[in-house]
């Protein structure tokens, strides 16, 4: 609602006004970023001190003002000082983030190898010493920067001077960082009714406001999601336009349990896979130093989602190839007959890229939520995840290497840290070396086979230990090794102060020798079962099973308890994935019932996820296996079992 006139604004009008304000901020932030996109200014901002040796403020807009980096709107446009603050804050964040890329590029240029395609061991040690934090930096990051420099050299015939010649100034997003403002520009407070808040901010009434009269206060009610606690403190959000609607990225603060670096007794080990994206299970550290597994663990299988992801990747590669071909044929001629086709193809590429991005984000959130739920169920205080940042997919074929490289592991770990922090659970990365190679019980190198019923066929899925005779799924053994390694090395956990991330970076041989899973006591009977008499004769036709008590009278409708051995004939069959036990819901809530106009035969573009309504899970493809921490109690009502 426009508070000045009392007019109720539609969603389209509100998005238009927010877009005008975001365009003003984006233009000023982009101009300031381009002006200061050089080594000298970025180093000055990253040093944390001004010309007089005083410490720069943590807020980017205040630091830029201390340095005298001013910015102004276009001539004839009138904005208040808070709009300029948002522009300086956005530009300052971009310039600060460029410091790490600049140091990385400078280190690679300084230690350029003789053969850019393959570094020697000595050259790797040299470049890691020249790069800040290079000792623990994934080699794939250094390789990608090397390829970028090599491509620049082939194009221009010389090496780039620095990262700012190698990369142009980034595009400035059209957003409103209201966190840089105060009450004179925006304010937010909770409404009287729970689950709602009121955001008040000044927005322009025209694209190029000429005076302060062209700015009015607008009240925007916000429906808070149920994930925000009732006692949480709300902060000013970031506004952005998405598909014609205004989205508010709302930040809030509330008290959570503090995570601990050491002192853990129950840990959740997480192993990465390809089709089986995650394999996780809990382990307990006893007072005598022994480590036992709690249950058989669970798996998050996302083969169907990953297959769709790879199909979209191949489609994107095909579209990019066609677009490049059109660019070569048109040669920048706007009057060429293929220009219109190239425009349509560019829109399709952007659409496919958005689909890939949304699918990856949904999969990452689902996998992270499932992992944290496993830790909460097992009462674990820490999650140990193997660190695969430096993994390079090679030697497994072009298609398999690409699939391994396209995994969304980084997003899953980030979401996992966010969700685990609310429950006071620490997330620690551990070295992945030999987690799938050695036996979790005796650390003997395993023999990997195709399947348990094919012990002589070479493969990678099934593992057998030649020493202690343990055998099991390769991923099931890996999470045991990861959990045991984390529990024994928890005193070696280090905390990155810049990101508050915890990691175990080295493996100590003496501690690794104790990182074994002690098998639980065998409860099977060991009495002598040798044959002592003749075998009882069995008839060729077995006697059908009989219930000891008669079945209840069947009701007239489909409800009620059905008789033994009979299934309803009037109920439609559920999808294949819905028959599997689902522990978590990994897809959004289905849309509500459509209005009567759609029931009369009109079509609707709104997606109705049938699988989610029936409990089938994420896209009918991601199946979460629940942990079996305890042995289920036997069913004493009948000894006949069930036919379903």
* 630: pLDDT strictly greater than 80: no
The number of domains in the chain is 3
Residue 343, class by beta-carbon neighbours within 10 Å (0-12 exposed, 13-18 middle, 19+ buried)?
A: exposed
Q: Of 307 and 214, which is predicted with more confidence? A: 214
- pLDDT at residue 552 in the model: 56
Choosing from 136, 166, 196, the residue where a domain stops is 166
What burial letters (b/e) apply to 446-464, b meaning 16+ CB within 10 Å? Answer: beebeeeeeeeeeeeebbe
274 with 159, same domain: the answer is: no
Choosing from 166, 198, 218, the residue where a domain stops is 166
Long-range contacts of 92-96 (CB under 8 A, 24+ apart): 92/45, 92/60, 92/61, 92/63, 92/64, 93/60, 94/29, 94/33, 94/170, 94/172, 95/33, 95/36, 95/37, 95/41, 95/42, 95/45, 95/60, 96/45, 96/46, 96/60
* 81: pLDDT strictly greater than 60: yes
Return d(Cα 482, Cα 208) in angstroms, integer. 59
Among 59-73, 295-309, 393-407, 589-603, the range scoring the smallest mean pLDDT is 589-603
Q: Could you tell me which of 101, 107, 80 has the C-alpha nearest to residue 25?
A: 80
Q: Is residue 565 part of a domain?
A: no
248 with 271, same domain: the answer is: no
Q: Is residue 19 part of a domain?
A: no
The rounded mean pLDDT for the chain is 82
71 with 94, same domain: the answer is: yes
- pLDDT at residue 613 in the model: 46
CB atoms within 10 A of CB 613: 12
The answer to whether 595 and 635 are in contact (CB under 8 A) is: no
- pLDDT at residue 638 in the model: 39
Which among 291-295, 309-313, 530-534, 543-547 has the top mean pLDDT?
291-295
- pLDDT at residue 642 in the model: 37
Distances (CA, A) of 419 to 383, 422, 423, 634: 12, 6, 7, 35
Place of tokens 């490049």: 324
142 with 53, same domain: the answer is: yes
Mean pLDDT of 336-351: 90
372 with 455, same domain: the answer is: yes
Q: What CATH number does residue 494 fall under? A: 3.30.420
Mean pLDDT of 227-240: 91
Q: Is residue 355 part of a domain?
A: no
* 574: pLDDT strictly greater than 60: no
Helix ranges (DSSP H) in 566-633:
596-599, 610-613
What burial letters (b/e) apply to 292-302, b meaning 16+ CB within 10 Å? Answer: bbbbebbbbbb
- pLDDT at residue 207 in the model: 92
Return d(Cα 229, Cα 221) in angstroms, integer. 18
- pLDDT at residue 534 in the model: 84
* 370: pLDDT strictly greater than 80: yes
396 with 488, same domain: the answer is: yes
Q: Is residue 272 part of a domain?
A: yes
68 with 215, same domain: the answer is: no
Mean pLDDT of 352-379: 92
Q: Is residue 586 part of a domain?
A: no
Choosing from 218, 253, 288, the residue where a domain stops is 253
160 with 179, same domain: the answer is: no
Per DSSP, the three-state class of 305 is helix
Query: Where in 316-406 does DSSP place strands (E)?
Result: 382-387
Q: Is residue 389 part of a domain?
A: yes
52 with 126, same domain: the answer is: yes
Q: Is residue 408 part of a domain?
A: yes
The answer to whether 203 and 80 are in contact (CB under 8 A) is: no
- pLDDT at residue 79 in the model: 93
Write out pLDDT tens, residues 43-80: 999 998 888 888 999 999 999 999 999 999 999 999 99
Of all residues in the chain, what percent carry a pLDDT higher than 70? Answer: 79
- pLDDT at residue 603 in the model: 45
pLDDT band at 277 (very low <50, low <70, confident <90, very high): confident
246 with 371, same domain: the answer is: no
CB atoms within 10 A of CB 394: 10
Q: Is residue 443 part of a domain?
A: yes
Mean pLDDT of 528-537: 77
Give me the domain span that covers residue 477: 266-303+364-512
* 5: pLDDT strictly greater than 80: yes
46 with 104, same domain: the answer is: yes
Return d(Cα 280, Cα 584) in angstroms, integer. 15
Distances (CA, A) of 36 to 39, 140, 402: 9, 29, 38
CB atoms within 10 A of CB 53: 6
32 with 74, same domain: the answer is: yes
- pLDDT at residue 18 in the model: 95
- pLDDT at residue 492 in the model: 92
Backbone angles phi, psi at 447, to 5 degrees: -105, 120
Write out pLDDT tens, residues 457-500: 888 788 889 888 888 888 889 999 999 999 999 999 999 877 77
């Amino acid at each position: 609602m426009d508070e000045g006139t009392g007019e109720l604004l539609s969603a389209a009008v509100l998005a238009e006004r927010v877009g005008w304000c975001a365009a003003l901020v984006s233009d000023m932030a982009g101009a300031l970023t381009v002006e200061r996109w050089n080594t000298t200014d970025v180093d000055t901002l990253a040093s944390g001190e001004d010309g007089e040796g005083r410490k720069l403020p943590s807020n980017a807009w205040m630091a830029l003002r201390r340095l005298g980096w001013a910015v102004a709107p276009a001539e004839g446009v009138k904005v208040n000082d808070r709009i300029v603050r948002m522009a300086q804050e956005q530009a300052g964040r971009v310039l600060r983030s460029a410091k790490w890329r600049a140091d990385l590029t400078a280190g690679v240029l300084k230690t350029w190898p003789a053969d850019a395609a393959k570094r020697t061991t000595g050259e790797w040690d040299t470049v890691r010493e020249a790069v800040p934090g290079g000792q623990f930096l994934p080699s794939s990051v250094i390789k990608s920067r090397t390829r970028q420099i090599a491509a620049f050299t082939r194009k221009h015939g010389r090496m780039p001077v620095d990262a700012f010649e190698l990369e142009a100034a980034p595009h400035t997003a059209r957003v409103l960082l209201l966190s840089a403002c105060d009450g004179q520009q925006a304010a937010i407070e909770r409404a009287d009714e729970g689950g709602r808040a009121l955001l008040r901010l000044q927005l322009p009434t025209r694209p190029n406001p000429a005076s302060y009269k062209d700015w009015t206060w607008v009240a925007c009610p916000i429906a808070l999601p149920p994930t925000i606690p009732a006692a949480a403190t709300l902060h000013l959000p970031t506004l952005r336009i998405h598909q014609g609607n205004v989205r508010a990225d709302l930040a809030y603060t509330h008290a959570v349990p503090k995570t601990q670096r050491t002192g853990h007794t129950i840990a959740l080990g997480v192993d990465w896979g390809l089709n089986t994206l995650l394999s996780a299970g809990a382990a307990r550290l006893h007072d005598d130093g022994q480590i036992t597994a709690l249950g058989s663990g669970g798996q998050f299988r996302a083969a169907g989602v990953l297959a769709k992801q790879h199909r979209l990747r191949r489609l994107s590669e095909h579209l990019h190839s066609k677009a490049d071909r059109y660019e070569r044929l048109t040669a920048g001629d706007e009057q060429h007959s293929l220009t219109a086709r190239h425009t349509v193809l560019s829109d399709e590429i952007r659409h496919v890229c958005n689909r890939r991005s949304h699918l990856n984000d949904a999969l990452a959130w689902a996998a992270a939520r499932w992992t944290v739920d496993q830790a909460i169920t097992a009462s674990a205080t820490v999650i140990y995840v193997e660190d695969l940042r430096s993994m390079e997919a090679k030697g497994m074929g072009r298609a398999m290497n690409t699939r391994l490289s396209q995994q969304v592991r980084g997003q899953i770990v980030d979401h996992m840290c966010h969700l685990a922090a609310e429950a006071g659970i620490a997330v620690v990365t551990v070295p992945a070396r030999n987690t799938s190679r050695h036996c979790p019980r005796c650390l003997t190198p395993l023999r990997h086979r195709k399947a348990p019923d094919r012990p002589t066929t070479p493969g990678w899925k099934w593992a057998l230990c030649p020493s202690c005779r343990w055998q099991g799924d390769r991923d099931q053994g890996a999470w045991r090794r990861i959990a045991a390694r984390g529990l024994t090395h928890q005193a070696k956990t280090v905390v990155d102060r810049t990101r508050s991330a915890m990691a175990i970076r080295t493996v100590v041989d003496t501690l690794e020798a104790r990182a074994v899973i002690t098998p639980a006591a065998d409860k099977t009977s060991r009495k002598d079962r040798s044959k002592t008499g003749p075998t009882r004769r069995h008839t060729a036709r077995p006697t059908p099973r009989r219930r000891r008590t008669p079945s209840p009278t069947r009701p007239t409708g489909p409800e009620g308890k059905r008789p033994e051995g009979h299934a309803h004939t009037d109920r439609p069959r559920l999808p294949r994935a819905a028959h599997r036990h689902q522990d978590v819901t990994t897809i959004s809530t289905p849309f509500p019932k459509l209005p009567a106009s759609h029931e009369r035969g009109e079509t609707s573009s709104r997606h109705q996820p049938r699988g989610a309504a029936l409990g089938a899970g994420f896209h009918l493809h991601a199946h979460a296996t629940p942990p079996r921490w305890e042995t289920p109690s036997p069913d004493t009502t009948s000894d006949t079992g069930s036919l379903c």
